[in-house]
């Protein structure tokens, strides 16, 4: 619906751009998350000594698993939004062909995706414990660090998604369905009467924005702590590599989430969001799975390029993502000597 909102200045061409461009980004994110999951499965199969399931690897794996349904839901976009009877004030947005049930389903999976930034924050906290405080993984396990993280993230994301369905909180929020009043922006427009959940902003902030804001703060603080540790201390090479990998994951998160926070501030202060920043958000926000995959495979690629400098780059990529039976052991031997090695004891340097 194009009622009075921060997007009512958009032309139909701009609306089409904001509908279709995120779909391309979502496909890249979906591809990246599938690559990470595929790599876990393949490397476990081809190298019996390779153990991908340590604490930080489980966080990365779960980030990828939750990113897949969330990316699909984002890619559906306005297709899930119910069509309405148009008036002088309310119009159907470009591409709306859905109904109440498709809107609820989309809102459920988008809210479920809040687990991704929460697991990203948990990953950086793990890196802080390991790099800044040199806490061994077995010590974290004894204090139920991982169990606490899983309980918080899984319980919050699942319960808030179910609450959204049970209380009928998911409605059109411009380009997808999420926590929102109905009709869209009726709380800002005196000419439009709210017929459902006038206080949906409370749910949107508590269930959506608050965990993302807290994750953002935790990740930024972790970034400065890790950077200060690397800058001030003469770390071993392995811990430096771990710090680089941690900062790379943090960079992927910031690249994804900085613009949404910027747009939220603009919307709260000046009441509208420029098309340019809206477009950048549409490009970057759905791509976290792709950025995470680039960060995850970076040390593997670097190691194989050193081992096989004459091999084509596409051979390197194929060998990293899907090692063959013939060369898998040789490749994994080299790769497992990198930041992602699993052959050192838990008390050794972080991978």
Mean pLDDT throughout 198-227? 90
Tell me the per-residue pLDDT of 155-211, one tens digit each, with 9 for 90 and over.
999 999 999 999 989 998 888 999 987 766 665 666 666 666 557 778 989 999 999
Taking each helix axis as running N to C, give the angle between helix 237-269 and helix 115-127, from 0 to 180 degrees, rounded to the nearest 10.
Answer: 140
Tell me the per-residue pLDDT of 103-150, one tens digit each, with 9 for 90 and over.
999 999 999 999 999 999 999 999 999 988 989 888 998 889 999 999
More confident position, 220 or 230? 220
What is the model's pLDDT at position 189?
A: 61
Report how far residue 322's alpha carbon sits from residue 328's, in angstroms, rounded to the nearest whole number.
9
More confident position, 265 or 70? 70
Q: 12-296: CATH homologous superfamily?
A: Rhodopsin 7-helix transmembrane proteins (1.20.1070.10)
Instruction: Name the pTM for this structure.
Output: 0.86
How buried is 147 (Cβ within 10 angstroms: 0-12 exposed, 13-18 middle, 19+ buried)? exposed
Report how far residue 175's alpha carbon sits from residue 252's, in angstroms, rounded to the nearest whole number.
24
What is the model's pLDDT at position 4?
A: 40
Tell me the per-residue pLDDT of 310-319, one tens digit each, with 9 for 90 and over.
999 899 998 8
Inform me whether the pLDDT recorded for 43 exceeds 80: no
Domain residue spans in the chain?
A: 12-296
């Amino acid at each position: 619906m194009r009622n009075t909102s921060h997007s009512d200045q958009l032309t139909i061409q701009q609306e089409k751009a904001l509908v279709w461009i995120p779909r391309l980004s979502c496909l890249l994110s979906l591809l990246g998350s599938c690559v990470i999951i595929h790599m876990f499965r393949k490397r476990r199969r081809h190298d019996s000594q390779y153990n991908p399931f340590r604490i930080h690897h489980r966080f990365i794996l779960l980030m990828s698993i939750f990113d897949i349904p969330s990316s699909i839901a984002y890619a559906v976009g306005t297709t899930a939004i119910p069509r309405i009877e148009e008036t002088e004030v309310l119009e159907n947005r470009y591409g709306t062909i859905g109904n109440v049930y498709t809107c609820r389903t989309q809102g459920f999976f988008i809210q479920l995706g809040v687990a991704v930034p929460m697991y990203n924050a948990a990953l950086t906290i793990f890196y802080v414990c390991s790099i800044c405080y040199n806490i061994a993984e077995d010590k974290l396990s004894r204090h139920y660090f991982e169990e606490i993280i899983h309980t918080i993230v899984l319980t919050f994301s699942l319960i808030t998604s179910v609450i959204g369905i049970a209380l009928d909180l998911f409605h059109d929020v411009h380009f997808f369905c999420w926590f929102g009043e109905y009709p869209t922006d009726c709380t800002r427009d005196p000419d439009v009467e709210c017929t459902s959940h006038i206080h949906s902003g409370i749910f949107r902030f508590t269930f959506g924005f608050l965990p993302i804001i807290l994750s953002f703060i935790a990740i930024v603080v972790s970034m400065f702590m890790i950077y200060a540790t690397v800058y001030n201390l003469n770390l071993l090479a392995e811990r430096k590599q771990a710090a680089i990998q941690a900062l790379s994951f943090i960079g992927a998160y910031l690249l994804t989430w900085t613009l949404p926070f910027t747009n939220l501030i603009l919307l709260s202060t000046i009441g509208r969001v420029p098309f340019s920043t809206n477009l950048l958000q549409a490009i970057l926000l759905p791509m976290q799975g792709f950025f995470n995959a680039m960060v995850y495979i970076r040390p593997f690629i670097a190691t194989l390029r050193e081992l096989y400098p004459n091999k084509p780059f596409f051979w390197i990529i194929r060998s990293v993502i899907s090692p063959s039976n013939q060369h898998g052991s040789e490749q994994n031997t080299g790769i497992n000597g990198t930041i992602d090695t699993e052959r050192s004891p838990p008390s050794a340097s972080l991978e």
